[in-house]
C-alpha cells in the first residue's frame, strides 16, 4: 500500500463526520483496553491555530503505514489525535484497540499484548488472543508507552519489524498486520539515556513524531471547551470577565482533564451558576497566576489578536485595505502585523518528517484533471496527491488494477504533468485511489518543490523538508 493515498474524511479545520464503518464486534477487554469500531470525534473542539496545524499533519501521516509517536503533557488530547489518525487511514473500517500500558500489571503485560495458550500458566483455562491479534488489520494505540516493561520492549520491537511471534505457552507463530500509534507524556529520549527505554524501539516508534501543545498555549480551545462544559449544564450562563481572566492566566498542568474538572466543580458549587461563573467560583490556585500569569496572559492576548486579524481578513475576502478599516488600524500597521506573524510561524512547527517519509507526504487539493481510461478521456477532480499516488473523484466506476493516465497542471506552476498508474481502490462515491508507476524526473522535481513549500506552510520543520 506504500504510496497509495487515502481519502480525507473532512475539512482539516473541523473534526466532524468521521465515523468509520464497523466491520465486526469485538469484546471490550479490561479497563486498560478499549476496542473501537466507530471513531466519532464530533465533540472535539479545534479552534486554535496550533491544534489545527496538528490535525493537518494527522491527515498527512494517517495513510502512511509507519508508526507514529504522539508526545504531550497529560490531558492534552493524545488519545483524540490517535483516534483521528486511525479514522483518516485506510484501516478505518478495522478495529482500533486502545491499550493503557501503565494500567496493566507488570507480570501480565506480555500475555495481554501477545495472548496465551490454554494451560500456559495457572489459571489459563482457555486460549486468549492478545491485543495485537485483536487489532489485526487495524490500529493498536499504546498509551503511556514509556511505562512499558523493558523485557516486553524487545518482543514489541520484533513485532514492529514484522517478525511473527508466539503466544505465551504456544508453539505456533502468529502473524499480524497492525499499525502502531504510541503516546507518552514522558521524555523518551531522556529515558533512553537513562537506560530505561530501548534506543532502537524509540526510533522505530518515532518514525513520525507529533507534538501536542499544552492547553495554556491554546487559549481559543481553552475558552471554547470551558464554555461547552458550562452550557451543558446552563445554556444561558457565561463566565464573568474575571472568570475569563482566571481561566487564561492559570497554568493548567492537567490540561483538558483538569479544565473539565474545575469547571464542573464550579458549576456544582457556584450560587449563581445559572447566570455566570466568576473567578471566585473557579477557585484556581493563585500561586501559579502570580508567578507567571502576566506572561501567559500577554501571550494569550497576542494569540487572540492574531486570530481576530485572520478572521477579519477572511471576512473581507483577503482585501487588506478593507480588513484594516474593519480593524480600526492603518494598512501599514496591518502589513507589519502580518509580517510579524509570518516570521513567528517558523517557530511553531509541531512535527518532524524524515527525508524517506517525504515520499508519502499527501497534499489535499480540489482541482480539475483529465483521466485517461483505455481510449476514453474523463473529467475528474484531484482530491489529494503524493509522489506515490493520488485520489481522484470521477463519475465512472473504474475496476481495480485498471491502467490510467492522469493529466494536470502542478499548482503554482505552468508545468503540465502526465503520470501513469493503476487503480488501487475505489468506493461507491466515485472516489478512486491511483498508484503511480515511475514518475518522470522533471515532474518529480517540480512536485517535490511544491510539496516542500506546502509542508512548510503546514508546520513541518524546514530543515527536514529538503
C-alpha cell at 288: 501559579
Residues ≥6 apart with Cβ < 8 Å to 298: none
Q: Tell which phi-psi region holds residue 284, choosing left (phi > 0), alpha (psi between -120 and 50) or beta.
A: beta
Least confident of 24-38, 94-108, 126-140: 24-38
What is the pLDDT, as a whole number, of residue 290?
42
Separation in Å, CA 170 to CA 109, 117, 162, 165, 174: 16, 6, 19, 9, 10
Residues ≥6 apart with Cβ < 8 Å to 285: 250
What is the pLDDT, as a whole number, of residue 20?
34
Q: 281-329, pLDDT tens digit by residue? A: 998 864 444 444 444 445 545 665 676 777 677 666 667 777 777 776 7
CA atoms of 373 and 402, how far apart (whole Å):
8
What is the pLDDT, as a whole number, of residue 361?
65
CA atoms of 407 and 236, how far apart (whole Å):
54
Half-sphere exposure of 350 (CA within 13 A, CB side): 21
Crossing angle of helices 78-88 and 49-62, in 10° steps, is 40
Q: Tell which phi-psi region holds residue 225, choosing left (phi > 0), alpha (psi between -120 and 50) or beta.
A: alpha
Per-residue pLDDT, averaged over 341-358, amounts to 51
Residue 80: phi and psi, rounded to 5, are -60, -40
Q: What is the dihedral of CA 302, 307, 312, 314, to 10 degrees?
A: 140
The residue count for the chain: 466
C-alpha cell at 438: 515511475
Q: 131-176, pLDDT tens digit by residue? A: 999 999 999 999 999 988 888 898 889 888 888 888 888 889 999 9
Give the ranges where 89-123 is alpha helix by DSSP (H): 109-114
Contact 240, 281 (CB under 8 A): no
Mean pLDDT of the chain: 78
Q: Which of 3-12, 58-67, 131-140, 430-439 has the highest mean pLDDT?
A: 131-140
pTM strictly above 0.85? no
Task: Specify which residues 337 forms β-bridges with.
Answer: none
Residues of the chain above pLDDT 90, percent: 24
User: Which domains can be identified in the chain, with CATH numbers?
Assistant: 33-213 (3.40.50.300), 216-315 (1.10.8.60), 362-452 (2.40.10.220)
Crossing angle of helices 441-458 and 49-62, in 10° steps, is 150
What is the pLDDT, as a whole number, of residue 210?
93
Q: Which of 274-278, 281-285, 343-347 has the highest mean pLDDT?
A: 274-278
Residues of the chain above pLDDT 70, percent: 77
Q: Tell which phi-psi region holds residue 115, choosing left (phi > 0), alpha (psi between -120 and 50) or beta.
A: left
Q: Which residue has the cell 449563581?
A: 272
Residues ≥6 apart with Cβ < 8 Å to 302: none
CA atoms of 323 and 318, how far apart (whole Å):
7
Residue 379: phi and psi, rounded to 5, are -80, 135
Contact 165, 152 (CB under 8 A): no
What is the pLDDT, as a whole number, of residue 343?
58
Burial state string for 183-199 with b = 16 or more CB within 10 A and e = fewer than 16: bbbeebeebbeeeebbe
Q: Say whether pLDDT at 126 is over 60.
A: yes
Amino acid at each position: 500500500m506504500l504510496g497509495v493515498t487515502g481519502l480525507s474524511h473532512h475539512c482539516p479545520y473541523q473534526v466532524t463526520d468521521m465515523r468509520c464503518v464497523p466491520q465486526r464486534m469485538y469484546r471490550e477487554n479490561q479497563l486498560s483496553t478499549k476496542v473501537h469500531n466507530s471513531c466519532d470525534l464530533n465533540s472535539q473542539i479545534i479552534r486554535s491555530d496550533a491544534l489545527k496545524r496538528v490535525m493537518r499533519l494527522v491527515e498527512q501521516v494517517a495513510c502512511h503505514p509507519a508508526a507514529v509517536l504522539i508526545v504531550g503533557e497529560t490531558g492534552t488530547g493524545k488519545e483524540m489525535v490517535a483516534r483521528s489518525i486511525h479514522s483518516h487511514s485506510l484501516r478505518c473500517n478495522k478495529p482500533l484497540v486502545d491499550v493503557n500500558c501503565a494500567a496493566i500489571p507488570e507480570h501480565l503485560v506480555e500475555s495481554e499484548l501477545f495472548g496465551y495458550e490454554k494451560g500456559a500458566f495457572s489459571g489459563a483455562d482457555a486460549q486468549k488472543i492478545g491485543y495485537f491479534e485483536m487489532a489485526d488489520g487495524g490500529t493498536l494505540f499504546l498509551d503511556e508507552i514509556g511505562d512499558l516493561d523493558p523485557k516486553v520492549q524487545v518482543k514489541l520491537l520484533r513485532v514492529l519489524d514484522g517478525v511473527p511471534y508466539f503466544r505465551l505457552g504456544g508453539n505456533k507463530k502468529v502473524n499480524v498486520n497492525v499499525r502502531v500509534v504510541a503516546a507518552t507524556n514522558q521524555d523518551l529520549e531522556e529515558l533512553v539515556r537513562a537506560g530505561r527505554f530501548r534506543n532502537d524501539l524509540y526510533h522505530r516508534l518515532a518514525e513520525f513524531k507529533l507534538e501536542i501543545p499544552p492547553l495554556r498555549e491554546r487559549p481559543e480551545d481553552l475558552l471554547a471547551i470551558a464554555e461547552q462544559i458550562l452550557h451543558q449544564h446552563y445554556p444561558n450562563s457565561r463566565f464573568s470577565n474575571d472568570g475569563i481572566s482566571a481561566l487564561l492566566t492559570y497554568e493548567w498542568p492537567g490540561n483538558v482533564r483538569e479544565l473539565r474538572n474545575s469547571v464542573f466543580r464550579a458549576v456544582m458549587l457556584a450560587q449563581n451558576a445559572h447566570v455566570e461563573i466568576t473567578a471566585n467560583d473557579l477557585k484556581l490556585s493563585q500561586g501559579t497566576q502570580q508567578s507567571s500569569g502576566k506572561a501567559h496572559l500577554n501571550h494569550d492576548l497576542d494569540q487572540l489578536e492574531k486570530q481576530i486579524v485572520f478572521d477579519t481578513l477572511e471576512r473581507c475576502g483577503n482585501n487588506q485595505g478593507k480588513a484594516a478599516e474593519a480593524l480600526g488600524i492603518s494598512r501599514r500597521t496591518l502589513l507589519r502585523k502580518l509580517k510579524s506573524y509570518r516570521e513567528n510561524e517558523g517557530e511553531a512547527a509541531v512535527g518532524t518528517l524524515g527525508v524517506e517519509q517525504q515520499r508519502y507526504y499527501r497534499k489535499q487539493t480540489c482541482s480539475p484533471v483529465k483521466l485517461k481510461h483505455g481510449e476514453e478521456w474523463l473529467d475528474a477532480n484531484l482530491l489529494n496527491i503524493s509522489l506515490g499516488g493520488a485520489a481522484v473523484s470521477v463519475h465512472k466506476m473504474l475496476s481495480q488494477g485498471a491502467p490510467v493516465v492522469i493529466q494536470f497542471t502542478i499548482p503554482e506552476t505552468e508545468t503540465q504533468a502526465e503520470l501513469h498508474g493503476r487503480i488501487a481502490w475505489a468506493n461507491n462515491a466515485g472516489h478512486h485511489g491511483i498508484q503511480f508507476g515511475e514518475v518522470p524526473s522533471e515532474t518529480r522535481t517540480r512536485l517535490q518543490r511544491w510539496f516542500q513549500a506546502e509542508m512548510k506552510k503546514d508546520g513541518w520543520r524546514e530543515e527536514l523538508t529538503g
